[in-house]
Chain A
Amino acid sequence: MLKQFFSLQWKAFYRSAAFKTNLAIKILMVFGALYFLVVFLAMGLGTYYFIEKQGLGDPFILVNTYLIFYLAVDLYIRYMMQKMPVLNIKPLLYLPFKKNQVVFYSLGKTLLSFFNWVHAFFFIPFSIVLVYEGYNILGVVSWHLAIMALFFCNNFLNVLMNNKDIVFYPIIVLFAFVGISQYYQWLDLSTYIAPLFRAFYNTPWTIIIPVFLLIGLAFISFRYFKNNLYLDAGLSIKHSKAKIEDYSWLNRFGNLGTFLKNDIKLIKRNKRSRTTVVMSFLFLFYGLLFFTGSIEVYDGPIWKIFAGIFISGGFLFSFGQFVPSWDSSYYPLMMSQNIRYKEYLNSKWYLIVLATIVSTIVSTFYLYFGWEAYLAILVGAAYNVGVNSYLVLWGGAYIKTPIDLTSNKNAFGDKQAFNAKTLLLTIPKLVLPLLIYALGHYLINPIAGYIFVAVSGFIGLAFKDIAFRKIENIYKKEKYKTLNAYKQKAN
């Protein structure tokens, strides 16, 4: 029985779409994975000696102090990125498998996830170093196993969080409370919890606590899944109640309004696009890193423009770069309905420009850091509207990744979204304005630098028709390939 499960899993793995992307990306992915493993290994080996050399006290104690944050971040990353096993269960339901086996298999599968074993690459070398440095071997082994058990606890917590609101909300509240109290230093949670972690070392029998916790969580998840193994219970896809929204005030914009209405609904009603827009909101605060001088490398004058581009262009970069993929699930409709490519692109352009203007208005709070900071944002906005808005639309023609609007799991960058052409296009988007500014800044004065960038934005705006004709032609040329690519549903 298990044999069949494994063979299914193996096929799911090597036949998956991600595995079939082209060779260059595959090599990149392998290098990426290796890179992370090496980094973790190096950290595992190096942390101890690094802390010792910096004179931060006993490395073991320090690591225990921060371990709780490590675990918290791990849980957060899992919630965002780790895929849940639920969906693949359906085809197994009516086959002669016992329910226990199906649940056992699906939960067991989550244990093999990358998110579980990657930590071993840090903790195994770290533990070896501890033993090498004279720590009690029994204590270290007990500590190590206890911590690993906690990571597996995270695994099951995540499974439950994904499915049960009653688990999700308390954890969120707890996180918020701990975060805030830590920030205002009401109470330093880590000082209370660190001794607990140290106890695993000092009194090895305490390892039974995390182990029991793990068994408990595994049991709860198991029971939860088994009870919900019905198409209309745990395996059902949640339906939300529809609200009819009118937005008739947009009618005055004619066909443009039609598309804008649709795009607003697209953003509001789909998980993936909502996340993206929330993320673009976070870009607004990116400038704080630059203007507060908290990071030294960002102090150079050129970086102010870089910040300006990102602050005003959050939506442009996060949403705009996936035009037309947002419409991937109904692209054939868009291509055969009574829509001219030009109108379609134009509506997306206006959406991007509107969002850029809104971001620019919202970011007036940067005036606090002086008018020059805000000027950088205004100038960045001009460049975004005049140049970058075309570039993202242009780049979008080459991104042929269908977007599954209802799923959040790929919101942090799609593997396929990186290809040579889109990478090349980031140069004019980010590097060119810096160069233009540098030209003015170093040849004349900072104000000239700002003027140069702003003017290049206005020139771009003046050539909108020409730029659009070019982009339209590229979209038309890529149309069939895009349609074909969107047919391959993302999984």
Chain B
Amino acid sequence: MIETQNLTKTYGKDTVLNIQSLDIPKGQSFGLVGNNGAGKTTFFSLLLDLIRPSTGRIINNGIQVDTSEEWKPFTSAFIDESFLIGYLTPEEYFYFIGDLRGQSKSDIDLFLNDFHAFFHEEILGKQKYLRDLSKGNQKKVGIVASLIGYPDVVILDEPFANLDPTTQIRLKTLIRELAEQRDLSILVSSHDLIHVTEVCERIVVLHKGEVVRDIKTSEETLKELEVFFGG
């Protein structure tokens, strides 16, 4: 599904990302871990063509992302608050994204029905604009919106950060279900080793912009990661 070839990103003399080759097959739940500055957000931004690669390319379902816009219909993401439109209510925001992805208002209402537990009655019908929601609630909206319209690739940067414990657990279930039900490639980055090992089939460790581990998740994965980051 996603192929990365000779991808580097350089600012001045600093190479912040250098991935020779990284393929993510269709339907995989993929976890990206690393310390601050390891290049996780840079990689995701490159995937979404929000920054330009210094060399190399990313090919998403046969489409090179920095030369064509054709990847947009089947790819969606939530990176940070800049993916939210602050002056809309959550409902209006969902409808807006729905409009862009060919989902009618009733489609969206139906879709949102499944997320009532996830929202914990704090999002819908509250007569609040997105800019006035708390960080955690904003994140919930962003994550759910990224699932609208049956995308094939979903990219979530630090989805667990800022969420309350209940929602973290619900989000984990959600991600697992999504990965099983459909042929959805879900890309998640996190600082929390426990969360990623629980939801991702495969975990890649970035360190100073390079892939240093590529692990198929198993019982020992958490230990292995703890050893890596602890030492």
Contact = CB atoms under 8 A, between A and B. Distances in A.
Contacts, number: 92
Given A270-B87, A337-B76, A480-B51, A265 B92 contact: yes
Query: Among A329, A331, A333, which residue has the most Cβ atoms of chain B within 10 A?
Result: A333
Provide the main secondary structure of the chain A interface: helix
A64 B128 CA distance: 51
B75 to A, nearest CB: 7
B87 A336 contact: no
A341 B69 contact: yes
B83 A239 contact: no
8 contacts: A240-B132, A258-B100, A265-B92, A330-B82, A332-B50, A332-B79, A340-B72, A480-B50
B49 interface: yes
B100 A338 contact: yes
B220 to A, nearest CB: 36
B163 interface: no
A337 B85 contact: no
A486 B128 CA distance: 25
- Closest 10 pairs (CB-CB, A-B): A258-B99, A269-B87, A336-B48, A333-B83, A239-B132, A242-B127, A332-B82, A242-B89, A338-B72, A338-B100
B195 interface: no
Interface of A: 239-245, 248, 255, 258, 261-262, 265-266, 269-270, 329-333, 335-341, 405-406, 480, 483-484, 486-487
Contacts of B105: 248
Nearest to A331: B82
A333 B83 CA distance: 4
Given A255-B100, A339-B72, A330 B127 contact: no
Interface of B: 48-52, 69, 72-73, 75-77, 79-80, 82-89, 91-92, 96-97, 99-101, 105, 126-129, 131-132, 149
Contact of A241 (B72, B75, B80, B127): B127
A333 B82 contact: yes
A406 B101 CA distance: 29
Contacts of A484: 51
B97 A269 contact: no
Contacts of B80: 332
A330 B86 contact: yes
Contact of A483 (B51, B72, B87, B91): B51
Nearest to A261: B96
A337 B48 CA distance: 9
A242 B86 contact: no
A86 B191 CA distance: 35
A239 B128 contact: yes
Given A265-B87, A333-B84, A337-B76, A242 B99 contact: no
Nearest to A341: B69
Given A245-B92, A262-B85, A269-B87, 19 more contacts: A240-B132, A241-B128, A242-B129, A243-B127, A244-B89, A244-B91, A244-B92, A248-B105, A255-B100, A258-B96, A270-B87, A329-B85, A330-B82, A336-B48, A336-B49, A336-B72, A336-B75, A339-B100, A405-B87
